[in-house]
């Protein structure tokens, strides 16, 4: 009974932390500098441009046309992914994180 009570108490405090976590599947990733220019066709944006403009940070473009900026950790993770990738364009990723305003605090990101 005590274990059940502890488990219920843990769930009570853990659920609000997990409630803000969202997963975005197969979303476009674009550097923030070029995001407005390529919003209509983000798949044409190239990996080389994304790396060249990486100092501006990155955004994801959601299916409902929302733009979410990646936090510093997410930017660093995406740069690693881009450097390891051979993808020339059509930069898509699965991203998990917590949305805070217009920023996504990235927990994980994986280029597709």
pLDDT tens for the 112 residues of the chain, in order:
555 444 444 544 554 444 589 999 999 999 999 999 999 999 999 999 999 999 999 999 988 888 999 999 999 999 999 999 999 999 999 999 999 999 999 999 999 9
Residue ranges covered by each domain of the chain = 21-111
Alpha carbon distance 12, 64 (integer Å): 32
pTM above 0.85, yes or no: no
Of 53, 54, 63, 59, nearest to 99 (Cα)?
59
Alpha carbon distance 81, 50 (integer Å): 12
Contacts of 99 (CB under 8 A, 6+ apart): 20, 22, 68, 105
């Amino acid at each position: 009974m005590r274990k059940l009570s502890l488990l219920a108490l843990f769930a009570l405090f853990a659920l609000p932390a997990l409630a803000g976590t969202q997963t975005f599947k197969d979303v476009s990733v674009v550097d923030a500098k070029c995001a407005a220019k390529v919003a209509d066709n983000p798949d044409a944006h190239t990996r080389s441009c994304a790396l060249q403009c990486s100092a501006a940070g990155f955004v994801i473009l959601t299916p409902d046309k929302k733009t979410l900026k990646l936090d510093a950790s997410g930017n660093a993770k995406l740069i690693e992914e881009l450097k390891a990738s051979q993808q020339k364009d059509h930069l898509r990723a699965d991203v998990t994180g917590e949305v805070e305003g217009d920023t996504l605090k990235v927990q994980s990101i994986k280029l597709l």
